[in-house]
Amino acid sequence: MIALFGATGYTGKLVAAELSKRGMPHRLGGRNPEKLAALPSDAERFVVDVGESARLDEFLDGASAVISTVGPFNRLGMPAVEAAARNGVPYVDSTGEQQFMAEVYARFADAPAPIVPGCGFDFIPGDLAAAVAIADLGSEVSEVAVHTQASPVPSRGTARTTVEMGEALASEARVRRVPFPDGVRTGVEFPFGDVPLARHAHGARAVTTMVLPSVAAPIVRRLSGLLPKLGSLVERLPEGPSTRMRARAKFRVLAEALGPAGRTAVLCEGRDVYGLTARFLVAAAQNVTGQGAMAPAEALDAVPFLELVTGEDEHGSFSWRHLRA
């Protein structure tokens, strides 16, 4: 039985739907009983808040894994991690917040169960594709880079998190050229995925970029510095993009490994990052192995997992392939 914490949020509802679609036994947890009761599911409802440690222990009783979508994680995410570690329950979450991930890695290295933050779209494709590219190179790696090109259709929660991360995003904004298969694109270096990536990059420099139109890249640093001032506007956003908007939002994630022997790369492509986040989280909850806090590529076997989540349905499409130099 999988315990889903944060089931009434935008991402949580998508994960609940994915669990139901797959016919997997699960328990839905959230702080609002009315919102829990309104979820279209036959699963058990469990009223629980982040500040209730004993109640969290009860929520995890009998669970084979817990999925947390409760954010922003820097403020609200740690109690679920603590409960999972305390009860020896495998843990995955949807965070995109590197500060939170770094704290989890530092605090829960010796946890008795796998503790794996960042198992949504933000990190799964890039982290696992990078692991495949490193293995493909098969020799000394000097740099590992992950480049993400995606249509911006944020949920209110994602926008709220982005605002809280705004100062960190503004601290680094170097421009570099990214060799996609159909031509070179402009990438702006952000410290966005390098914390988990550095854990399995074998000492290589870890770089992550967001791919933008070339005319936009020079002003990104200035705009990102304004993000912390936009908090009041975020709360006026809808809870999340419509199904139609999600289906039209395509992405590409290119992972490269570079070294004296040359370059290898892996390309992931698809649409609907929120639907795929639900798919990734459910698959990760079933497949993480090991003990202690880990990056996705440390807890999941990269190639089998990417194959497992490949495909197209009403909740998005995903594919991946090796690129030969």
Tell me the mean pLDDT in the region 145-170: 60
Helix, strand, coil proportions of the chain in percent (round to 5)?
40, 25, 35
CA distances to 36, 105, 231, 243, 319 from 251, rounded to whole Å, are 32, 28, 26, 16, 11
DSSP state of 237: S
Residue 74 has pLDDT above 60, yes or no: yes
Helices 156-164, 10-21: inter-axial angle, 10-degree rounding: 130
> How does pLDDT run across 268-297, given as a tens digit for each residue?
999 999 999 999 999 999 999 999 999 999
DSSP state of 79: H
- Residue with more model confidence, 78 or 249: 78
- Residue with more model confidence, 22 or 224: 22
Q: Contact, 186 vs 164, CB < 8 A?
A: no
Separation between Cα atoms, residue 207 and residue 197, nearest integer Å: 8
Q: Give all strands of the β-sheet with 143-150 in edge-to-edge order.
A: 175-180, 183-189, 205-212, 143-150, 250-259, 262-271, 316-323, 311-313
Token pair, residue 63, equals: 């669970």
The CATH T-level fold of domain 124-273+314-323 is: Dihydrodipicolinate Reductase; domain 2 (3.30.360)
Separation between Cα atoms, residue 223 and residue 200, nearest integer Å: 32
Lowest average pLDDT, out of 46-55, 139-148, 247-256, 271-280, goes to: 247-256
Average pLDDT, the chain: 87
- Amino acid letter, residue 174: R
- The HSE-up count of residue 145 (CA atoms within 13 Å, CB side) is 22
Which residue ranges make up each domain of the chain? 2-121+276-304, 124-273+314-323
Strand 91-93 relative to strand 65-68: parallel, antiparallel, unpaired? parallel
Q: Contact, 26 vs 2, CB < 8 A?
A: yes
Residue 236: which residues within 8 A CB-CB, separation 6 or more?
Answer: none
**Which CATH number is associated with domain 2-121+276-304?**
3.40.50.720
Q: What is the pLDDT of residue 242?
A: 73
- Residue with more model confidence, 259 or 234: 259
Percent of the chain surpassing pLDDT 70:
84
Q: Contact, 48 vs 63, CB < 8 A?
A: no
Q: Contact, 82 vs 68, CB < 8 A?
A: no
Residue 72: strand, helix, or coil: coil
Q: What is the pLDDT of residue 68?
A: 98
> How does pLDDT run across 182-240, given as a tens digit for each residue?
999 999 887 777 899 999 999 999 999 989 765 444 545 455 555 555 445 544 455 56
86's enclosing H/E stretch is helix 78-87
User: What pTM does this model have?
Assistant: 0.88
Tell me the mean pLDDT in the region 125-146: 96
Is the omega angle on the peptide bond into residue 72 within 30 degrees of 0, that is, cis?
Answer: yes
